[in-house]
Chain A
Amino acid sequence: MFSGLREKVGQVLVPGDEFSLEVQETLSLTEPLKPEKVLLGPGLKRRGDRKLLVVKSGVLRHKQPHVFWVENHQRRYVPAKGETIIGIITVKSGDVFKLDFGGSEQASLSYLAFEGATKRNRPNVQVGDLVFAQFIVANQHMEPELVCVDSAGESQWAWSIWSGGAAVQRLSGLVRRLLRPRSDVLSDLQKLFPCELVVGMNGRLWVKASSVQQTLIICNLLQSCETMTTAQRQQLFRRAAQGVL
C-alpha cells in the first residue's frame, strides 16, 4: 500500500508532493488480511482519506517498521512534548518562572518543578540563569510548560546550569547530529579536550572545559562545523587537536 513512499526514501521532496494510497482491487479469501499502518512524522500530513501531502522540503527518511518523516533544516525552534531544551529565565513572578527558549512565545516553569523543591524550600534560580528542562505541554493551542523533574519527581541531570562555561545558540542542525545514538561529531569531540556539554534541542548548547581558552575553542569549532561535510570537520578537529588553532 505504501510502496510509493518507500521508493522515495532518501530522495529530496518539496512541499506539494503527494502520495496516494493504493487500494487493493481484489481481496484474497484464503489468506488473512494484514492491516498496514504508517506513522507520519514531521513534514508529512494526511489529506482526505487516501492522500499524504509533503509540507516541508527535505530528505524523506524511514525507520523500520513503518515510520516516515521529512528531515529538514528548520531554522526557528517549534516546541514538542518530551523534548529537552536550554532556556533562559526572563521573569520571576508569583509561582512561575518564564523562560525564553527561542520559540514564538515564552514557556512557563513552576517553582515546584525542581528536585527537592517545596513551598518553603524554593530553588535558587535567578533571572538570566540557564535552565535545562523538558516540555510537558507543547502544542500550538496552549502556552508551553516546562519541568525540571521527571514523573518520579527526580532529576537525572543537574537541571540548572549557572557557573562558568559558555552558551552557543542557533545550531539546530548540529544539535540533532550530536544527539544521534552513535554520533560521529560527538566521538570526534570526545577525542579533543575533556569538557561538559549540555545539548538543548532548541539549537542551544552549553560548554564548559577546564580553561576559558579551551571552552572558546570548542564553541568556535561547533559553530563552524554545522555546515561542513564529515571530511572537512575531521580535518578541522585534527588541526585543533594539534594546537594550531
Chain B
Amino acid sequence: MSPRASFVQGDTSVMAAVYGPAEVKVSKEIYDRATLEVLIQPKVGLPSVRERSQEQCVRETCEASLLLSLHPRSSLTLVLQLIHDDGSRLACFLNAACMALMDAGLPMSCLFCGVTCAINADSEIITDPTAESRALMTFAIDSKEQRVMMSYTKGSFSVHELQQCIAVSQKASENIFQFYRDSVRRRYSKNL
C-alpha cells in the first residue's frame, strides 16, 4: 500500500499519495539529490495552467523541507487529487502533502502547513474564507520557527495588511501542527 493521506478542511477535501524513493529517468535525474515531482489532479477535466502553477508552489515548499540529499538519483512523486473544492484549495493541498510525506517516512527537516487568509470588503481579516474578498492570500508556514516558506497572493492590500495576515496565519498554523501531532500519535498508538 503506498503511503497516502486525506485532508478535509471544512468542505474542501484532498487526497495525497507519495511514491518513492524510486527509479528516475536519466533525463530527469539530479546527481546529488532526489527529483521531486508533484501532480495535481482537479476534480473534473484535465490539469490546466492553474494546476501547474499550484504544483510549483507545493513542490518548492516540499523541496525546502525534505532532506533530498539523502536520496540522490532517485525520484519522489507526490500526487494530489482534489475531491471537493470549497475555497482554501492550495492550503489544503499543502496540508495533505505534508501528511503524506510524513506517512511515507521520508526524512524532513521540518513540517509545513498551508493557511489561507482573506481581507473582505469591511477590511476584516478572516482565515479559511469561502466568500468573495478584496484580497486572498495563502501562506506555507514551517513548524520550527513559524517562518513563511511560500506565499501566493491575489487582490489588493497594503503592506501593513500583509503583515497582519502573516501574523494571523502564523497563529492559525499552531492548531494545524497540533493536529498533525495528534494524528501521528494515533497512528503509532498500537506500537507504544
Contacts and interface: CB of A to CB of B under 8 A. Distances in A.
Interface in B47-81: 65, 67, 69-75
A98 interface: no
A127 interface: no
A56 B111 contact: no
Given A14-B102, A15-B110, A16-B109, A55 B67 contact: yes
Interface in A77-105: 78, 103-105
A73 B104 CA distance: 8
B105 interface: yes
A213 B155 CA distance: 66
A56 B107 contact: yes
A200 interface: no
Interface in A110-138: none
The range of chain A's interface size is: 20 to 34
B71 A15 contact: no
Contacts of A170: 1
B18 to A, nearest CB: 8
Contact of B108 (A12, A55, A140, A229): A55
B109 A15 contact: yes
B20 A76 contact: yes
A138 to B, nearest CB: 13
B74 A104 contact: yes
A75 B19 CA distance: 9
14 contacts: A14-B181, A14-B184, A45-B67, A55-B107, A55-B108, A57-B188, A59-B191, A76-B20, A76-B21, A76-B22, A78-B21, A104-B20, A104-B24, A140-B72
